Structure 1
């Protein structure tokens, strides 16, 4: 029993004529009759009997019609539901990114992607720390992540997108104009504004001090370069941050001493095994082209 056979049976039952049913279903009358005959053979009972030039249901056919109607209705509803699922799967993109990418990179990415995609994709975006992005990718909450280096996860892939050099961040005021930072240990003489402890950047900068046996005088913890810059411009301390485009809007000064060689990579991150829809695949391909055109801070 196939859906095609059920559809032919239903048409013949409603129209009470094999020829009219065949015309409605856009097949030849012999083909429709053969399909119904196969049903009768499978069930071992006649479903139709002659009635003048047409046909009518037998008692067995009348008993079967409600089941055929129900199966075809459920099949139609299932198809409608799966079409909606396909629209969502292929037409929606769920992206998570860190606060450092929110100022210029992400808005331009979305604008350029949508203008060149040739289709009106729906993008759901979230801003959060890199470790939370990794958790969201593992759980299936997100399709793509744009974030810092995370702890190794066998199911997650990270592909480098951008490189941001580390810089020392100082208040752009007279009090700090003559600030001498020829060595890393010179930073320990000032209050230090740090990334939050659960951020990859905190781990990276802490390792920088630990290699020299130093401990900065941390007085504030903040969640992003922008949050740190707002504290630094109020002369609440100095910091080491990744150089981002947004720093230019604050009253701060950035320097890169000779001892500061490190930087931060920003990665495209995604689940290794999860099947991706059309929109997600297109954005992945677009990201490399877009990033090559994005200005380095």
Structure 2
């Protein structure tokens, strides 16, 4: 017995006629009749009662037809599932994001992925520092990362997405908030809030390099792990912060953002995954992100 016998039987049982069933199956009638008799012989039961005008199901045939429908449906569903898996339409993925991508990109990305890949179960982890993401990729805690490429190592595949300019987040009543744009030298003597050095933040090194190149001694008052906390402390008047421009998507009362025009430094954003990962749904997700990000605005 094979699946062809089941399909032959279903066709005859539904048509109640060998000739019409043969036409439906696009085969000659004699081989169809022989196949049904072989099926009955293998089962040891009569499935069909044949007359000169029609074919009727026996009680055993009606029971067998019900199960044959279920079996063939399962087979078709299994084939469809296999095709969707091979095409990257099924699976589970966890995506990590640095703080700036969490606010500027994640809302649109989550909607886009759910539309493009409805069979993939996505989860998202925002506010992850780039080194933490790189480690999470290596241990399998996340599958795809939106991070700073400088944090990625040789075990990761990275694709550059964009370069984000820097801005200064200031308390709305700060004296520098009156200006339309700022230079790094303007931050001399200003209390600063930065991402944590203890957690190896990429932005910590970027900010200190920008200030050092401008001859400014950084006056760091607070170090934090999450971008939302950093902006909240700015809103509380505890200091200023140099951040990637997409962070300005996080609007809080009491915070203003001003472009940092000198030096014209940018920080890169990349999408990364482990080099030994090549599942179709993961690669499709990476491609969707690569096509989406260049068209995504840096600010809302």
Q: Taking structure 1 as the reference length, what is the TM-score of the superposition?
A: 0.64
CA change 1:133–1:148 in 2 (3 A) is: same
Secondary structure of 1:189's counterpart equals coil
Does the CA-based 8 Å contact 2:104-2:298 persist in structure 1?
no
Give the root-mean-square deviation of aligned CA atoms.
3.1
| Distance in 2, Cα, partners of 1:273 & 1:141 | 15
Q: 5+ unaligned residues in a row in structure 1: which ranges?
A: 5-18, 25-78
Would you say the 8 A contact 1:166–1:242 is kept in 2? yes
**1:168-183 matches, cutoff 5 A:** 168-173=168-173, 175-178=175-178, 183=183
Give a deviation string over 1:111-158, Cα, whole Å, max 9, x none: 1122133x4211122232111110111123322111123335111122
Match in the other structure for 1:235? 237
Instruction: Give 3-state SS (helix, strand or coil) of 1:141's partner.
Output: coil
Match for residue 225 of structure 1 among 227, 231, 243: 227
**Within 1, Cα distance between the matches of 2:107 and 2:182?**
37
Aligned with residue 268 of structure 1, among 268, 271, 279: 271
Q: 1:176 to 1:207 in 2, by over 3 A?
A: closer
- CA drift at 1:212: 4.0
The change in CA–CA distance for 1:224 and 1:261 in structure 2 (over 3 A counts) is farther
Q: Could you tell me how far apart the structure 1 residues matched to 2:216 and 2:176 are?
A: 22
> Aligned pair in 2 of structure 1 residues 116, 181: CA closer, same or farther (>3 Å)?
closer
Instruction: Tell me if structure 1 keeps the 8 A contact 2:90–2:119.
Output: no
Find the counterpart in structure 2 of residue 256 from structure 1.
259
- CA offset digits 1:20-55 (Å, max 9, x no partner): 69745xxxxxxxxxxxxxxxxxxxxxxxxxxxxxxx
- Aligned pairs (5 A) from 1:83-102: 90-102=90-102
**Aligned mates of 1:209, 1:124 — CA distance in 2:** 37
Q: Which residue does the alignment assign to 2:155? A: 155
CA distance in 1, matches of 2:263, 2:162: 18
Matches within 5 A, 1:277-288: 278-288=280-290
Instruction: Provide closer, same or farther for how the CA distance between residues 174 and 145 of structure 1 changes in structure 2, counting only shifts above 3 A.
Output: closer
After superposition, residues 138-217 of structure 1 pair within 5 angstroms as: 138-173=138-173, 175-178=175-178, 183-197=183-197, 198-217=200-219
In structure 1, the residue corresponding to 2:250 is in which secondary structure? helix
* C-alpha contact 1:149 1:200 (8 A) present in aligned 2: no
Three-state SS of the structure 2 residue aligned to 1:154 is coil
Deviation sequence 1:188-216 (CA, Å, 0-9, x none): 21211111112101011112223345321
C-alpha change, 1:152 and 1:126, in structure 2 (3 Å) is: closer
Query: What secondary structure sits across from 1:292 in the alignment?
Result: helix
Whether 2:120 is the aligned partner of 1:121: answer yes
The alpha carbon displacement at 1:264 in A equals 1.6
CA distance in 1, matches of 2:114, 2:180: 47
**Cα offset, 1:176, TM superposition:** 4.6
- Residue 296 (str. 1) matches residue 298 (str. 2): yes
Offset of 1:181 from its aligned partner? 8.2
Alignment of 1:56-67 (within 5 A): none
Distance change (3 Å), C-alpha of 1:167 and 1:140? same
